[in-house]
Amino acid sequence: MSNEAVSPLQPVERETLWDQVFAQLRDALFAGKFEPGSRLVLRDLAELLGTSITPVRDAVARLVANGTLERGPRNTALVPDVGVVDLRHLIIVRTELEGCAAREAAMNADESGIAAQNKRLSQMRKLISEGRLGAYLDLHRQFHFGIYEMARIPILYDMIEGLWLRCGPALSFVIPDYVHSLKGTDHHLQLIDALRKHDADAAEKAIVADIKEAGQYLLSLADEQGRIRRPRT
């Protein structure tokens, strides 16, 4: 018998089903596919994803645990309403964390990273000019997280991702009025310029202004109960 130690674990060659379900739900929340106040029926989600209910229940449990969703009646989950107070708190924390990430990104930025961000921004503007806003939010998120990845601080990146998951359902309300106005794009251009110059102060200023400007628009959408709601068309 060989004395060579045998590992009790084997390398995992592909993502588990649970990971894939979680990733899809996370991306849907990022993209604002589920609006604040929505009720998610786990069995319906499983049917849409083509899975059993078990991996959906596990993925939803994780989203409940981190505060992204709320537990509902049997086999359901709720997308929390975003109120004025909650949104103001999110804006305060986001400006601190994302401002910090932008500062670090400015000090670490290289030409290839800046070029990638410039390409994303050009694509964002093209989508707006063509009225193809369905893909805008996803590209907008890629732009922001491309910046935060440049900071090279994984724990900071994870914290920002958690905040965006809480904001995601309400962020979809910037379409179409706020996005069509091209607000925010000047801040994005300023941010790229700051990265190119390795100007940490300017990078922080641009990202903070972007967050606050969009935040003020969302606050203006509050109903009489102080809940952020999609603007009426």
Radius of gyration of the chain (CA): 20
Question: What is the token pair recorded at 220?
Answer: 């203006």
Question: pLDDT tens per residue, the chain (233 residues)?
Answer: 445 554 454 443 446 888 889 999 998 888 888 888 899 999 999 999 999 999 999 999 999 998 899 999 989 999 999 999 999 999 999 999 999 999 999 999 999 999 999 999 999 989 888 888 778 888 989 999 999 999 999 999 999 999 999 888 888 888 777 776 665 568 999 999 999 999 999 999 999 999 999 999 999 999 999 999 888 76
Question: The pTM is what?
Answer: 0.85
Closest Cα partner for 32 from 222, 188, 167? Answer: 167
Which distant-in-sequence residues (6+ apart) come within 8 Å of 187 by Cβ? 206, 207, 209, 210, 213
Cα–Cα distance, 10 to 147 (Å, whole number): 35
- Residue position matching structure tokens 């990104």: 105
Strand segments (E) across the chain: 39-41, 70-71, 76-78
Question: What is the token pair recorded at 134?
Answer: 């369905």
